[in-house]
Structure 1
Amino acid sequence: MEKAEKKKESLTAFSAIAGGVAGWTGNTSLSMLTEVDMTPYYFISITLGVIMGLLWDIAHKLNKDVEA
């Protein structure tokens, strides 16, 4: 049971990486749809994606603490 709990707690890095990938994908998709050079905005979109991933992880941990 300890391994399952440890695995759930180590998802913070996964959430941050997934958020960054989502930000990059969103920027790339928007660049393709609008046919505008969005290269200067890659850093911003990836950073916002990482922040959203971390906020998602924090909200999940806070919600888990309330339910337990």
Structure 2
Amino acid sequence: QCQYKIRDDSVRPRHFLGADNVDEIEAILLDREGHSLHEFIDGDEPLRPIIDFDLPQEVLDTIEPKLTRKE
């Protein structure tokens, strides 16, 4: 089972919302902007960013395979 933390960059200090399934992740991301998705690997390991939903379009254009805002 994967566990994820979604970081809210619009709040200081940063606020993390927990999610452990696709439905929870989608609900959080649909409701908010300014979030990054982090995979929670182990309690002693730092959070690893795996998706940054606020990348500028120029950065998205350089990623292979191509990503769009909808992805």
Q: TM-score range by the shorter chain?
A: under 0.3
Of structures 1 and 2, the larger Rg is shown by 1
More helix by proportion, 1 or 2?
1
More strand by proportion, 1 or 2?
2
For normalisation by structure 2, the TM-score amounts to: 0.24
Structure with more relative contact order (C-alpha pairs < 8 Å, separation 6 or more): 1
For normalisation by structure 1, the TM-score amounts to: 0.25
